[in-house]
Structures are given as structure tokens and as C-alpha cells.
Chains A and B, each alone.
Chain A
Amino acid sequence: MEDAFTIANKNFKSRLIVGTGKYKNFEQTASAVKASGADIVTVAVRRVNILDKKQPLLMDYLNPKSITYLPNTAGCFTSADALRTLRLAREMGGWRLVKLEVLGDKKTLYPDMIETIKSTEILVKEGFEVMVYCTDDPILSKKVEDAGACAIMPLGAPIGSGMGLQNKVNIELIKEQSSVPVIVDAGVGTASDATIAMELGCDGVLVNTAIAEAKDPILMAEAMKYAVIAGRKSFKAERMKKRKYGSSSSPLDHLI
């Protein structure tokens, strides 16, 4: 496959991963996912609502046979909770490729990296392929890779903040030193943020709130699709060198 995006030995066409939270309803979720062209969607594990059995199910709108479900531990603040969530996800239908996120603070939603690394080691031992949400610290993200992560997912800015990549230098350093895919997760606020992440050389981008909270989520999903494609092509094309002064685009010889 041309310019394949490979995670844990599986090839994916789209380098955009989308979250399925915060949408108005499942119809809108499904339309946005379709418009985004994503092959992977993150999903959360929660209790079935026993009192209201008529509630629609995500699986009735997004077929896990045609799109890769990436179970996520969003909302887990301890290693124990995260492990429990992913073990349940695996039991649900054999999901081994998972996204680990162990949060350390309710306000910033910053990851607790000590708990995250500990959980990664345990999950890898249990046979999971773990994509790991982490801070944009090159030392800690290296430790995440050493713990056996199949992808590193540094934050661009806090989850749901839409502030864009706050530390491009760190993201670039992390990409340079990693031998597993680096996917910017969290902080993307608009399409150009996704392009910037891809231009830095990242392998992919995960977006949820920027699509779900756009006035027109379906249109923004499509914008994200093209933004990621543009950023990837731009990175591969290798941009021109910057100059301090102007350089005429038309030849100056034979001027009339």
C-alpha cells in the first residue's frame, strides 16, 4: 500500500483517527466519521443503561466490522480503572488494539505518566497492542515506547481545549526519536492544526472535539480529512528553505 499507515502490523488508509464523543446523536456521529474518511474510531466503555432499554447503540450506527473500534480508557484516573476497562473491551469482542489514557488531573485532563507507564507494561504483558496518550515530554514518551507501546500519542494541548500544538519543538523531537508511530492526540482545534502536526512528520492525528463542536461537524470532519492529507503530502514533499529576503518568482533576465 502506498504510504501505508501501519499500527501494530495493521495497515490503515487514513492517517486521521476520530473520536465518537460529544455529538448530538449517533446519526451525526456516523455522518461525521464517514465524512472524515477515518478507518479508526475511538470508543468508550460504559455501563449499559438497564432502565432505558430503547436507547440506541453505537454499534448499530458504526459497524465494527467495517471500521476499527479503538477502545479508549477516557475518564480513567487510576491504572486499576484503565486496566479493568480495557480487559472488558477485549472480552466484548476480542479487541486487542487499544488506547490507554490515565488522567492525573480533572481540570487540565493531563495524563498521569507514572500510572500510564505502569499500565502500559501490564497491558503489553497481557497481549494488548497499546496506543498510549502521553505528555509531549521526549524523555517520558521514550519511556512509553520502552514500556512496549505500539504508538505514542502526545498531546498537542489539553483534551478538548482546541488550542492547537503548543510545543511543536517537542512533538518534532518525539517524532525523530521514536521507532513506533507518533500520533498527535488532543488539542487540535481546527483543520490547520492537524496539517501542522502532519507537517512536523507525525504519523497521524486524533481529533474529536474540533469536529464535534464545530458549527457544522460534518463539514469540519471533511476539512480534517483533507488537512491531514495536505500535511502528510507537504511533509513528504519537503518544504523550501526559508529566506530572509524576497526572491522573485519570475526571471529578471530579458525584462522589457
Chain B
Amino acid sequence: MTDTPAANPTDPFDPDAINAAQGLDPVDPAYAQVLRIATALNLIPIAIGASVFDALLIRHIEGPYGLITAAAWLIAIIVIATFPSRRVSRWGYRIGEGQLRVARGWLFRTDTIVPFVRVQHIDVGQGPIERWFGLSHLIVHTSGTHNSTVTLPGLHADLAAAMRETIRRHIQTDFA
């Protein structure tokens, strides 16, 4: 336990351990706020819909009014409060020797490596919520049918631009 603290990447309750054990950098913690707002924008309309359904139909047929509304809002609040930070902590990336490594997920974890020389073109994108927090996402396009785009969200805008320049230099040197 003392000699290799990060040797147990299968510990489901310590998400940091996965990234540390696999030599990955974490994405910007502010990305959790972006995900939280995006999740809220998705879930709150559903919760409102459930409330309307409850008020119009369940009350009409004299069912247990209020149950669905309460459950919908409770689930929405729990999901919005807890899930985004957990999801963010499982994103990891690494700009290595001529390759970009992006890992995500825990239940189904995918660890993707794209060599810079295989990159066709690069996008740096920024949505309205991301702009609010000064974040960008990097999209790397390859010519493979599987993984034709690899997305890395939650990067500080300057870092994303710097990464794009790094990858772009490699594309140029390969064809020079």
C-alpha cells in the first residue's frame, strides 16, 4: 500500500487513481461546470415535462399525484449535482512523443492513441457554455473509419490552441 499508492487502478472509488496510474493529465476542473450546465439544460425540461404530465394526467385519473414530480426532480438534482464531476475526473489526456492520448469513462473505459502523423486535420471548437468558462475542445480527425474523429474536451482555450500548434507542426514536418 505504501510502496505503490497508484498501483490499484481498479479502485472504483478513487477516480484520480486511474489517470495517475496510467500517466495521464486531468482536464480542467472547470469543465465540470460546463458539463453540469449542459446536463441541467437536458434534464430540467424532462423534469418539467414529467411535472406537467403528472399534473394533467395523473391528477385527472386520480392516481397518486405528486409521486412522479418528486421522483423526477430528485433524480435530476442528484444527477446534476454528482455526475458531472465524476465524469470529468475520468477524462485524461497526454501529449506524448509524437502522439496524442485521450482516455475517457470508467464503466466502459476507452484509451485512444492517435499518432500526430496520422492526423488529417484539427478543429478547436468552443460552445457558448465553454466560452463562459474560458474552455475549448480539441477535435482530431483521422482517416480511419473507426475513430474518424477523436474529441478532447475541457481544455483551457490557450492550451487547446497550443496543442493544435504542436500537432500541426508534426503534420507539416511529415510531408516536408
Do A and B make up one complex? no
